[in-house]
Amino acid sequence: MLAYLGRRLVIMVLTLAVISVVAFVVIELPPGDFVSWRIEQMSERGMASQEEIDALRRRYGLDRSMAYRYVRWITRFVQGDMGHSLSWDQPVWTLFRSRFPMTVLITALSLLFTWALAIPIGILSAVRRYSVTDVVWTFVGFIGLATPNFLIALVFMYLSYEFFPDIEVGGLLSHRYVAAPWTAAKVLDLLGHLWIPVVIVGTAGTAGTMRVIRANLIDELRKPYVEMARAKGLSEARLIFRYPVRVAINPFLSTVGWVLPLLIAGETITAIVLGMPTAGPLFLQALLRQDMQVAGAYVMLVSALTLIGTRISDFLLVVADPRIRMEGSGEQGAEKAS
């Protein structure tokens, strides 16, 4: 197992290296740069001279080649220095440190919300397939898959303002607690606001995961070993959870890697609509201002989270399915034989 996980770790490092190149090039591809955005801001107060423009490019290192700037950026990033934000004029880590805790909290709670609903609903729909329960949850699942998160957020805001004016939907804290120190009352106020983005972000993930669990479990329930177990008198509950569910859960475990970035992407759109102080709106503003330091660091962090989620999926699959461990042992034996 250690050799299996070691190979996956090497692949993860190489993948991050490729992602860093692609992210840097894509962010730098649009015409102009941070100085162009800065000149637009300066033009509102008066035209900037060419000397001032050249001085700004030298100050921010934008007069160098793209290859030089990439090597300089990735070298510092590997050493733990995310750089200095050009537009906010402060270290990138300082910006993320104030916003990432809320981002991680919303994402983690959304993931738990997704699993807590999707797994039992998927199993129930598969066991009672084509029943009224299955049809209702299938309809709900299709609505969740087809409806964008930002639209759900707008519907929540409309319903709140129309029917529950006392409930504040926007943001994560009431106005009186934004600048207040952390107390028990502030924590309770946060929890009162937190369930809204959690439900909105987790809706799409719940719908997709539910459909995956249902489809895989239906395939397993049709196999001969299930009928044989029933013929031997095994109880239905023990039969379903002891064998088919364990096999049907494997594709679900393999989706952990892409569920995490999808939740963060959904959190970004929801945060913009609801006005939440998380990392998503910060990333959008960095792209609009072409602040490579902030945008690149955000892309690398999300990419690392994606790869970590994939490695978690690999580990869970190895633990849950003995066949994967046997295949890994067979590959090692073949390598030694050759």
Least confident of 207-211, 266-270, 332-336: 332-336
Four-residue CA torsion sign, 224, 229, 235, 241: negative
pLDDT for the residue 337: 35
pLDDT tens digit string along 96-115?
Answer: 887 888 887 888 888 888 88
Mean pLDDT of 247-276: 72
pLDDT of 160 reads 78
Instruction: Point out the least confidently predicted range of 165-179, 221-235, 317-331.
Output: 317-331
Which one is predicted more confidently, 137 or 50? Answer: 137
Task: Quote the pLDDT of residue 213.
Answer: 85
Residue 42 pLDDT > 80:
no
How many other CB atoms are found less than 10 A from the CB of residue 147? 14
Q: Which residues pair with 91 in a beta bridge?
A: 84
The per-residue pLDDT for 47 is: 60
- Proportion of the chain above pLDDT 70, given as a percent: 85
Question: pLDDT-based confidence at 336, cuts 50/70/90?
Answer: very low
Is the predicted pLDDT of residue 330 greater than 50, yes or no?
A: no
Residue carrying the six token digits 């250690």: 2
Residue 45 has pLDDT above 80, yes or no: no
Instruction: Name residues whose C-beta falls within 8 Å of residue 106's C-beta, 6 or more positions apart in sequence.
Output: 194, 197, 198, 201, 267, 276, 278
pLDDT at 310: 75
* pLDDT at residue 129 tops 50: yes
Listed in sequence order, the residues at least 6 apart from 215 whose beta carbon sits closer than 8 Å to its beta carbon are 126
| Residue 4 pLDDT | 65
- Between the CA atoms of 320, 321, 327 and 329, what dihedral angle is there, to the nearest 10 degrees? 50
Quick check: 333 pLDDT over 50?
no
pLDDT of 328 over the 60 cut: no
Give the mean pLDDT of 198-219. Answer: 82
Distance CA 110, CA 195 (A): 9
Among 126-130, 167-171, 232-236, name the one with the lowest average pLDDT. Answer: 167-171
In the chain, CATH 1.10.3720.10 sits at 92-337
Q: Which two tokens stand for residue 54?
A: 């050249």
Residues 6+ apart with CB under 8 A from 298: 96, 279, 282, 283, 286
pLDDT, average across residues 143-167: 79
Q: Which stretches within the chain are classed as H helix? A: 2-28, 34-43, 50-59, 66-78, 92-127, 132-146, 149-163, 184-221, 224-231, 236-242, 244-254, 256-274, 279-289, 292-320, 322-337
- Residue 332's φ and ψ, nearest 5 degrees, are -65, -40
Mean pLDDT, range 85-89, rounded to an integer: 81
Would you say residue 57 has pLDDT above 80? Answer: no
- Amino acid letter, residue 154: L
Q: Would you say residue 175 has pLDDT above 70? A: yes
Mean of the per-residue pLDDT values for the chain?
78
**92-337 maps to which CATH number?**
1.10.3720.10
Q: What pLDDT, on a 0 to 100 scale, did the predictor assign at position 334?
A: 36
Tell me which of 168 and 157 has the higher pLDDT.
157
Radius of gyration of the chain, Cα coordinates, nearest whole angstrom? 25
